[in-house]
């Protein structure tokens, strides 16, 4: 089988995150979930949450689904890189994404969410697309939607075609030739850390020379920005008038009117250029003349992350075959 679903930006002005409609249970309950290749838990706002922690989000009520089954004695608890987190209990139920159904998928029902989830009313939960080794359900960890679907997929892949300020798509089980141009360049994935970790072959700032250098990082649909080694990031902002690394804003900022260079990264012999517009991420506060960069240093993060700012400059194939690989193509 195959599936195809829209990835819709949650904010009209800046691509902070993308959500995809997912139907759960019988009769179907539809939630807007953030597909996240940087984690491996499928969790949702649920009827088990105190109403004080729900502010406009859709919830999944397992007791309203005839196919829901409690996974007795199991719980989960997750903390993300930005300090947000959630925890709760676990049910299994049918989950459908873009026409692709997985029966008895572990649905982790939130009983508590951190304040940043409560205030983000466009995200009703997450679908983890990382490796199932990262799943936090205890005492028995659970498989991701992709791992559960894999044996029924025409091909054991999912693809991300994220777009700048418009809806893109996540496809499961097939590679849509209409979504990319030229060839797909595949490189090996090290799944040991549980992420889609792959080697980049180097970078260039604007029209400058390409610097060959092997950079290990993760392809992370759940992270908004790109986080790379400080040497690369300082080389980039050296080309931006008035750029400073602001302690108060927690990263590189610059006058919104600045002309930004593009940023090119290598995957094998292929080169992908992130347009300057993607790298002018957003004003630090609404209406401010100071803007926050889409490229930031990974020194505070501990891992290099190719987030949405990079992913939306390409068509990306997450190949869950044995061994796993990741493919990048222009579009
Ligand atoms: C708006 C912004 C200033 C650009 S932001 O940085 O806040 N954007 C957030 C995403 C977001 C969107 C909308 C509303 C709120 C938050 C962002 O990029 N967060 C990253 C920042 C980061 C990463 N690393 C250090 N900092 C993150 O935590 N991303 C995780 C998913 C997020 C979590 C908050 C809600 C939206 C989805 C992530 O899963 O991609 C992750 F990989 F970074 C991560 O934290 N993975 C958790 C891995 N653990 C390992 C142990 O086992 C359990 C799983």
Q: What is the dihedral of CA 159, 162, 167, 170, to 10 degrees?
A: 10
Residue 145 in 3-state DSSP? helix
Catalytic residue among 34, 41, 161, 220: 220
Q: Does residue 171's CB lie within 6 angstroms of at least one atom of ligand 1?
A: no
Q: What is the pLDDT along the chain (331 residues), one digit of tens a residue?
A: 999 999 999 998 999 999 999 999 999 999 999 999 999 999 999 999 999 999 999 999 999 999 999 999 999 999 999 999 999 999 999 999 999 999 999 999 999 999 999 999 999 999 999 999 999 999 999 999 999 999 999 999 999 999 999 999 999 999 999 999 999 999 999 999 999 999 999 999 999 999 999 999 999 999 999 999 999 999 999 999 999 999 999 999 999 999 999 999 999 999 999 999 999 999 999 999 999 999 999 999 999 999 999 999 999 999 999 999 999 999 9
Whether the Cβ atoms of residue 218 and residue 224 lie closer than 8 Å to each other:
no
Q: 38, exposed or middle or buried, with CB in 10 Å at 0-12, 13-18, 19+?
A: buried
Atom of ligand 1 nearest to the CA of 281: 4
Q: Does residue 204's CB lie within 6 angstroms of at least one atom of ligand 1?
A: no
The residue whose CA has the least distance to atom 7 of ligand 1 is: 82
pLDDT at residue 93, rounded to an integer:
98
Whole-number Å distance between alpha carbons of 84 and 77:
11
Whole-number Å distance between alpha carbons of 293 and 244:
10
Active site residue 220: yes
> Ligand 1 centroid vs 34 CA: distance in angstroms?
11
* 16: phi then psi, degrees, rounded to nearest 5: -75, -40
Domain ranges of the chain: 3-172, 180-330
Whether the Cβ atoms of residue 43 and residue 126 lie closer than 8 Å to each other:
yes
Its pTM surpasses 0.95:
yes
Which string of b and e fits 234-244 if b means at least 16 CB within 10 Å?
Answer: ebbbeebeebe
Q: Does residue 228's CB lie within 6 angstroms of at least one atom of ligand 1?
A: no
Q: Which of 123, 143, 120 is nearest to 133 (CA)?
A: 143
Say which residue the tokens 């097939």 belong to. 174
Active site residue 171: no
Q: Does residue 86's CB lie within 6 angstroms of at least one atom of ligand 1?
A: no
pLDDT at residue 297, rounded to an integer:
98
What ipTM was estimated for this complex?
Answer: 0.97
Regarding beta strands 197-205 and 211-219, do their DSSP bridges make them parallel or antiparallel, or are they unpaired? antiparallel
pLDDT at residue 284, rounded to an integer:
96
| CATH of the domain spanning 3-172 | 2.40.70.10
In the chain, count of helices (H) and strands (E)? 5, 24
> Ligand 1 centroid vs 80 CA: distance in angstroms?
5
SS3 helix, strand, coil % of the chain, rounded to 5?
A: 10, 45, 40
pLDDT at residue 311, rounded to an integer:
98
Whole-number Å distance between alpha carbons of 176 and 197:
23
Question: CA distances (Å), 259 to each of 235, 242, 275, 277, in order?
Answer: 15, 10, 12, 9
> Ligand 1 centroid vs 151 CA: distance in angstroms?
29
Q: Does residue 78's CB lie within 6 angstroms of at least one atom of ligand 1?
A: yes
Asked whether the domain spanning 180-330 has the same topology as the one spanning 3-172, the reply is: yes
Regarding beta strands 166-172 and 157-163, do their DSSP bridges make them parallel or antiparallel, or are they unpaired? antiparallel
> Ligand 1 centroid vs 79 CA: distance in angstroms?
9
Fold held by 180-330: Cathepsin D, subunit A; domain 1 (2.40.70)
Q: Does residue 120's CB lie within 6 angstroms of at least one atom of ligand 1?
A: yes
């Amino acid at each position: 089988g195959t599936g195809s679903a829209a990835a819709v930006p949650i904010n009209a002005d800046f691509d902070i995150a993308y959500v995809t409609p997912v139907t759960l249970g019988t009769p179907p309950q539809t939630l807007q979930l953030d597909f996240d290749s940087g984690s491996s838990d499928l969790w949702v706002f649920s009827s088990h949450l105190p109403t004080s922690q729900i502010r406009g989000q859709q919830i999944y009520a397992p007791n309203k689904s005839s196919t829901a089954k409690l996974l007795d004695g199991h719980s989960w608890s997750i903390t993300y890189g930005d300090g947000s987190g959630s925890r709760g209990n676990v049910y299994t139920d049918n989950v459908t994404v873009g026409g692709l159904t997985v029966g008895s998928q572990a649905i982790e029902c939130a009983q508590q969410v951190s304040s940043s989830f409560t205030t983000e009313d466009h995200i009703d939960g997450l679908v983890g697309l990382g490796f199932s080794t990262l799943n936090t359900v205890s005492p028995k960890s659970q498989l991701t939607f992709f791992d559960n679907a894999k044996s029924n997929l025409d091909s054991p892949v999912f693809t991300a075609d994220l777009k700048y300020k418009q809806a893109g798509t996540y496809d499961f089980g097939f590679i849509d030739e209409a979504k990319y141009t030229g060839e797909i360049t595949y490189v090996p994935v090290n799944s040991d850390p549980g992420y889609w970790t792959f080697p980049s072959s180097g970078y260039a700032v604007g029209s400058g020379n390409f610097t060959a250098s092997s950079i290990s990082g993760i392809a992370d649909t759940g992270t908004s920005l790109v986080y790379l080694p400080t040497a690369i990031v300082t080389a980039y902002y050296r080309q931006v008038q008035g750029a400073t690394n602001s302690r108060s804003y927690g990263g590189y900022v610059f006058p919104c009117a600045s002309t930004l260079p593009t940023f090119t990264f290598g995957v094998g012999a292929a080169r992908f250029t992130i347009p300057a517009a993607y790298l002018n991420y957003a004003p630090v506060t609404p209406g401010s003349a100071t803007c926050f960069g889409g490229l930031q240093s990974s020194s505070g993060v501990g891992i290099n992350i190719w987030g949405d700012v990079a992913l939306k400059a390409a068509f990306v194939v997450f190949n869950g075959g044995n061994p796993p690989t990741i493919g990048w193509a222009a579009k």
